[in-house]
Amino acid sequence: MKHDTSIEMQKYPAADLARNTGELLRAASVAPVTITKHKKDCFVVMSTERYESLTENANPQRAFAVADMPDDLGELLDQGLEELLGDE
């Protein structure tokens, strides 16, 4: 399966995991698989290689220069600072 949002992932009910573990792991080695609970998507199982490719450049702690901020966000920041600091 290609990574395409128009293609639905295979789904496995959580209640059937014990019976279908091998099948699920084989499917997850090819493409991400959804685990459902009460017919709602709860988890995604995928290969470590796929996970690492999705997260290798993800850094939850990122810093940005104020100069690079879009104007509308800069205005919001200025307003917030003015409210916080008052007439200091």
Domains parsed from the chain with CATH numbers: 1-57 (3.40.1620.10)
What would the mean pLDDT of 42-60 be, rounded to a whole number? 85
What would the mean pLDDT of 67-76 be, rounded to a whole number? 79
Distance (Å, whole) CA 52 – CA 46: 10
Amino acid at 21: T
| Span 9-43, pLDDT tens digits | 889 999 988 898 999 999 999 999 999 999 999 99
Residue 78 in tokens: 């200025």
Amino acid at 49: E
CA angle 8, 15, 39 (to 5 degrees): 45
